[in-house]
Structure 1
Amino acid sequence: MDGIEFSGVEYAVQGKPVLQGITLSLHERRIGIVGRNGSGKTTLLRLMAGLVAPTGGTIRVAGVDPAVDRKAMLRAIGILFQNPDHQIIFPTVEEELAFGLRQLGLRADEATARVRACLAAEARAHWAAAPVTALSQGQKQWLCLMAVLLMEPATLLLDEPFAALDLPTQARLSRRLAALPQRLITISHDPQAVAECDRVIWLETGRVVGDGAAAGVLAAFRAEMARRGDSDADTDLGA
């Protein structure tokens, strides 16, 4: 798998820094990114996927600028958001699954055949014409994952993938993700969600403050979160 390179990356919104001085070389198969809400985790993933462009520095995914060559990113990067309702855009399961394949250039009949084969392999052939509104939250998350996997990306970006799911659904999704051959980059505020990763990166106020083996980084992260929890750290009004 080709890597993802950040060199001096900055990202600001209306002059307010969100990410600052991010330099990373991501090559491991399982990478976790932890941090409190607002630390810049989701922004980092959006930059990798080319959904936004940095305001400073450079990003390369397999040697390509993701914000410039979006078509190349279709096979390089897939992203699964925390809330599937923010990702689903078509009214039926079959249409949603076919959309990415059509973006890759498949004819309508080719895309339909690929989708139906996928649904049959998942014992969900009867889902094809179902409205997405009939699906549970967990089923919608499965739909989004299948839509991404049909495009065969080299790297899958996961934005708090378990946050809105009940425990049995979390267990099923966790098993499925663990078996995938793709590189997985998972962001979470929950250390347990990334405890098995090869590498963990800790973001705090838009900067990397920890980077290394999961055990060491997560121990430091837990200790700092416990320290903050013992104090009245939320008394100041937001800027």
Structure 2
Amino acid sequence: MPGDRAVRLEDVTLVRGRTTVFRGLDLELNEARIGLIGDNGAGKSSLFRLLCGLDAPRSGRVWINGADVGGADHRARSVGMMFQNPDEQIIFPTVEEELALGLEVGGLQRRQAREQARAWLQARGLGHWAERAITSLSQGQRQHVCWLALTIAAPRLLLLDEPFASLDLPGQALLDHEIRQASQQIIVSTHLLNHVRGFERVIWLAEGAVRADGPGAEICAAYEADIVQRVAAHALRIDAEANVA
């Protein structure tokens, strides 16, 4: 069994419908900040779903904190995931109630959880958000509520799936800062490479396999160069077809 600090996938095969998403995937994820990049359909969201137990592998094992995600050990459940669409994640009608949920799951009574959520928001200059209806918030603000709900619940591993997609520039800068300051291990899946370029490790997924894995600046540059080559090749094919026609 992997060590208690390890996040590891061992020979994982994941099949969804008729599509094999991963075949024999091996990964060990121990760095404090890891970026996950690649085209749409490369397997980034599927990897997150495996890590938080939403999908089960057809074969192989997924270990977190020394425990099998598919088993009964509670250590494997200390994972929080932020979805691409905040409306798929938010349950309660007000900000205060949404933040209190994670505290209630952790064992606090409802009144205590709400009081702590209000105090937590106040300490971050967001006390006026406590009683706001989720429906009154912009998409970016709802995304920020999802981040706040994750951090107040304090799981050991945070999985952020396209967390910057609906944020304006100030919102992106704030989330960047909070990611740097957070004590948890964080894995960020994103198409906005500048947010992970400075990470100690970035993994480039392509068609369900690891295309490259290494320092953020190096891997992001390689991915960008590959895109330039693919776009140029596509343009040449278009031109050639036009000339034939």
Whether TM exceeds 0.5 here: the answer is yes
SS of alignment partner, residue 69 of structure 2:
coil
8 Å CA contact retained: 2:79, 2:159: yes
Aligned residues: 234
- Aligned sequence identity (%): 42
Pick the aligned partner of 2:220 from 215, 218, 221.
218
The whole-number CA distance in structure 2 between the counterparts of 1:182 and 1:104 is 17
Please identify, of 208-217 and 193-202, the stretch whose mean Cα deviation from structure 2 is larger: 208-217
Pick the aligned partner of 1:190 from 189, 192, 199.
192
Aligned to 1:16: 19
SS of alignment partner, residue 84 of structure 2:
coil
Is structure 2 residue 122 aligned with structure 1 residue 120? yes
How far did 1:71 drift?
A: 5.0
The whole-number CA distance in structure 2 between the counterparts of 1:131 and 1:71 is 33
Equivalent positions of 1:90-169 (< 5 A) are 90-169=92-171
8 Å CA contact retained: 1:52, 1:67: no
Aligned to 1:49: 52
Cα shift readout 1:71-122 (whole Å, capped 9, x = no counterpart): 5445x21111222112111111111111122222221122122211111111
SS of alignment partner, residue 210 of structure 1:
strand
SS of alignment partner, residue 115 of structure 2:
helix
SS of alignment partner, residue 216 of structure 1:
helix
SS of alignment partner, residue 222 of structure 1:
helix
Unaligned runs of 5+ in 2: 239-245
8 Å CA contact retained: 1:11, 1:56: yes
The one-letter amino acid of 1:91's match is: P
Equivalent positions of 1:26-45 (< 5 A) are 26-45=29-48
Cα shift readout 1:187-222 (whole Å, capped 9, x = no counterpart): 122322210111111110001111112232222211
CA RMSD in angstroms, aligned pairs only? 2.0
| TM-score between the two structures when normalised by the length of structure 2 | 0.89
The one-letter amino acid of 2:45's match is: T
The whole-number CA distance in structure 2 between the counterparts of 1:190 and 1:99 is 30
8 Å CA contact retained: 2:10, 2:61: yes
8 Å CA contact retained: 1:202, 1:209: yes
Aligned to 1:7: 10
Please identify, of 31-40 and 1-10, the stretch whose mean Cα deviation from structure 2 is larger: 1-10
Answer with 1 or 2: which has the greater Rg.
2
Aligned to 1:62: 65
The whole-number CA distance in structure 2 between the counterparts of 1:70 and 1:190 is 35
Provide closer, same or farther for how the CA distance between residues 135 and 104 of structure 1 changes in structure 2, counting only shifts above 3 A.
Answer: same
The one-letter amino acid of 1:196's match is: G
Cα shift readout 1:155-193 (whole Å, capped 9, x = no counterpart): 111111101111121112111211111111011223222
Please identify, of 47-56 and 28-37, the stretch whose mean Cα deviation from structure 2 is larger: 47-56
8 Å CA contact retained: 1:50, 1:68: no
The whole-number CA distance in structure 1 between the counterparts of 2:173 and 2:114 is 30
Pick the aligned partner of 1:171 from 159, 170, 173.
173
